[in-house]
Amino acid sequence: MVRAPCCEKMGLKKGPWSPEEDQILVSYIQKHGHGNWRALPKQSGLLRCGKSCRLRWINYLRPDIKRGNFTKQEEQTIINLHQMLGNRWSAIAARLPGRTDNEIKNVWHTHLKKKLKHYDSSQDSKTIQISKCDSNVVIENESGKNNHSTSPQQCCSEMSAVTDSSMEKIVVKEEIDYSSEYFPTIDENFWSEELANEDVRETKEDADAHLPLVELESVEDSKVDGGGGMDFWYNLFTRAGDMPDLPEF
DNA sequence: AATTCTTACAACCGCATCGAG
DNA sequence: GCTCGATGCGGTTGTAAGAAT
């Protein structure tokens, strides 16, 4: 049994929003707020489903939305956060005031992914490797709530601090600048798209010498989807000793 | 000038999660 | 503990605009 899409209900409009619809939605929310998205279309007179209204508001009409091109710093931040969190766009968006998860996702797919792929292809020989990885890490946040992660992706996305040898407790402590301070800097070649073949980063041997390996167990049963994936998991734990305490997501 | 291709981004869909009852 | 409705999230699609041919 397949559930019918919500907007297929009789009379509900789909597709691009008209300025009139935007106006109705904005003025309704300004007056009444958006306590109940489901009820909002009925009460405001819009022929849209609540989901569509919510999306339109969050991604486009919200007054605090920052429009226009992303700055280099914002792009750098996205890259760094994506390396940390994988495809958790909402978590990334939470660190970029005025930007939406949808917008960030689009920028990633249309610009950054291509750039990085191009950039990384010139960096292949510098890939860092690790042989073992723990697939069952317990994470504890500030509220004391434990999260059991069975996948690297999931675990990494919730990881918020250095893992010690027992890998049991992770506590959030402070805000950090995601744009550069704690991450390897992407050089000018990335932004210029003219990738140098040599002397861009340290060699693999140099990197291995600087990055402490962490003893971890097999990840055979781990599910890894797109985004950060296993490489990131490896890199995160490889670099664990260099990572700062990170805030909660 | 017309057509095709590419890019960017808004919007949709369906699954996951959460909370109330 | 279970069910169900509401909301959040990420993947994907649709389409308008611009570029290339």
- Separation between the CA of A39 and the C1’ of C2 (whole angstroms): 26
Q: What is the pLDDT of residues A102-155, one digit of tens each?
A: 989 888 888 887 777 666 666 554 443 333 333 333 333 333 333 333 333 333
Q: Name all domains of chain A by residue range, CATH numbers in brackets.
A: 18-61 (1.10.10), 70-195+202-249 (1.10.10.60)
**Is A152 exposed, middle or buried (CB count within 10 Å of its CB: 0-12, 13-18, 19+)?**
buried
Q: Which helix (H) or strand (E) holds A55?
A: helix A50-56
In this structure, is the CB of residue A113 within 7 Å of any atom belonging to strand C? no
For chain A, what is the mean pLDDT?
60
Query: Which residue reads 């781990």 in tokens?
Result: A222
For residues A72-81, one letter each, b for 16 or more C-beta atoms within 10 angstroms of the residue's C-beta and e for the rest, the string is eebbbbbbbb
Q: What is the pLDDT of residues A144-173, one digit of tens each?
A: 333 333 333 333 333 333 333 333 333 333
Q: Are A115 and A193 in contact (CB under 8 A)?
A: yes
The number of angstroms, rounded, from the C-alpha of A228 to the middle of its chain's C-alpha atoms is 9
pLDDT at A84 over 70: yes
Q: Are A206 and A124 in contact (CB under 8 A)?
A: no
Which chain A residues in 24-53 sit with Cβ < 7 A of strand C? Answer: 35-38, 50-51
Strand C nucleotides with an atom less than 7 Å from a protein beta carbon? 5-12, 15-16
Contacting residues for A48 by C-beta, under 8 A, at least 6 apart? A7, A12, A13, A21, A41, A56
In this structure, is the CB of residue A60 within 7 Å of any atom belonging to strand C? no
Q: Are A49 and A9 in contact (CB under 8 A)?
A: yes
The predicted model gives A193-200 an average pLDDT of 38
Q: What is the pLDDT of residues A16-67, one digit of tens each?
A: 898 888 889 998 998 888 878 888 988 888 888 888 999 999 888 888 888 7
CA A22, CA A46: separation in Å to the nearest integer?
10
% pLDDT > 70, chain A = 42
Look at residue A170 in the predicted model and tell me its pLDDT.
35
In this structure, is the CB of residue A18 within 7 Å of any atom belonging to strand C? no
**Residue A119 has which token pair?**
């950039």
